[in-house]
């Protein structure tokens, strides 16, 4: 079974930095893309950044120039480097993966991590 595990969240002062990690494990045949989402209290979950299988990336306007998404394909691990953090970045950050499992290669599945809390104090 495919599992995603996030790490790296915590409490940081405004202007500080954090790096989130997401490790994917299980019988994965292929990965279409991986991304980071976040959900703040009272708000819907929003896309923060995505990295596709070919390596191209996209970012939400609110984080462009501050966040960087990357991956280590050999380890099925994705990272989100967050610099210049603002109180508005406070949210639970979720790792997301769309891929094809070894046990069902005829279809794709979407997987989610458990989330990691990022809190930015003013």
Q: What is the per-residue pLDDT for 75?
A: 86
Query: Cα(119)–Cα(72) distance, rounded to whole angstroms?
Result: 26
> Which has more pLDDT, 1 or 90?
90
- The mean of the pLDDT values for the chain is 95
Nearest-10 Cα torsion for 30, 53, 117, 111: -30
pLDDT digits (tens, 9 = 90+) for 20-77: 999 999 888 888 999 999 999 999 999 999 999 888 999 999 999 999 999 998 888 9
């Amino acid at each position: 079974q495919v599992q995603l595990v996030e790490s790296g969240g915590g409490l940081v002062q405004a202007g500080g930095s954090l790096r989130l990690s997401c490790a994917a494990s299980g019988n994965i045949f292929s990965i279409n893309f991986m991304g980071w989402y976040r959900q703040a209290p009272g708000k819907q979950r929003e896309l923060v950044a995505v990295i596709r299988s070919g390596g191209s990336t996209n970012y939400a306007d609110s984080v462009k120039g501050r966040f960087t998404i990357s991956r280590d394909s050999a380890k099925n691990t994705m990272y989100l480097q967050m610099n210049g953090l603002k109180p508005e970045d406070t949210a639970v950050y979720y790792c997301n993966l769309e891929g094809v499992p070894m046990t069902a290669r005829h279809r794709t599945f979407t997987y989610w991590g458990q989330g990691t809390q990022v809190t930015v104090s003013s």
